Amino acid sequence: MRIMCIGDVVGSVGCEFLRQRLPRFKQQQQIDFVICNGENSADGNGITPRSAEHLFTSGVDFITLGNHSFRRKEVYPYLDEHPHIIRPANYPTSSTPGCGWAVVDMGFTSIGVINLMGQQFMDANLDNPFIRADQILKELDAKIILVDFHAEATSEKRAMGFYLDGRVSAVFGTHTHVLTGDAQVLPEGTGYITDVGMTGVIDSILGVKKEIILRRFTTQLPERFDLARGDCKLNCAVFDIDRNSGKCTAAQSYELI
């Protein structure tokens, strides 16, 4: 089966562009399942029930999150109630809304989805994502398993790919908003890409107006982030997964403009 993993969708502009491009791409590429990182889908970052529903009604089957998961308090009940949206599993489970992994029944097969967040250069007090992955895999019963590793450091993402090689179907990185050119199948049959990029405005810095980020770097003073407007792109990766073995047979990145 063919699984499409979409990079961080940035704001209402990114959501609208995804709605324009996703249905046709799914049809052309014969995509069976779409997973999307939605932690920046609300204007001003974070995710709201409204932005999540926009993604679902645009053709997304499953939403993963990251370090902005809890920016908007109105989404807390939604995270507890909706089975197809998860936040990083290595947040403290006793005090954090939502779940960190889930299994989707596709009828002909089941798909497990795990969301993890890195520890390097990330401003959060998290459990070790490698140990948490081991714990989840002991409980998760699914032939096909996908992991969204929301992390800053390329080395940490690469390490997670090799750590889970042969134990999951695909590991795709999110968070940096920059599509990397290393989509591949690792030696033991796990699909991998360091980062699937973003869905948002091209002429921007990670979806934010350039002048705001430039002022922040040159003055070192706080700035309110305003999202850029203009022509957009949709970054993603597509993994071909064997239904019987759960192994990845091909990996390809795409940029839709």
pLDDT digits (tens, 9 = 90+) for 55-78: 999 999 999 999 999 999 999 999
Q: What is the pLDDT of residue 221?
A: 93
Q: What is the pLDDT of residue 65?
A: 98
Task: For the domain covering 2-202+228-256, report its CATH number.
Answer: 3.60.21.10
Confidence check: pLDDT of 125 > 90: no
Q: What is the pLDDT of residue 45?
A: 87
Q: Where are the domains of the chain?
A: 2-202+228-256
Q: What is the pLDDT of residue 76?
A: 97
Active-site annotation holds for 84: no
Cα separation of 9 and 102, whole Å? 21
The 3-state DSSP class for residue 130 equals helix
Confidence check: pLDDT of 47 > 80: yes
- Residue 245 binned pLDDT confidence (cut-offs 50, 70, 90): very high
Q: What is the pLDDT of residue 35?
A: 98
Binding-site members for Fe cation are 8, 39-40, 67, 150, 175, 177
Annotated catalytic residue: which of 54, 68, 82, 84? 68
pLDDT tens for each residue of 17-43? 999 999 999 999 999 999 999 999 999
What percent of the chain has a predicted confidence (pLDDT) above 90? 93
Confidence check: pLDDT of 124 > 80: no
Q: Which residues pair with 146 in a beta bridge?
A: 113, 170
Q: What is the pLDDT of residue 222?
A: 87
Q: What is the pLDDT of residue 217?
A: 93
The 3-state DSSP class for residue 165 equals strand
Q: Residue 26 CB: number of other CB atoms within 10 A? A: 16
221-233 average pLDDT score = 92
- Residue 93 binned pLDDT confidence (cut-offs 50, 70, 90): confident
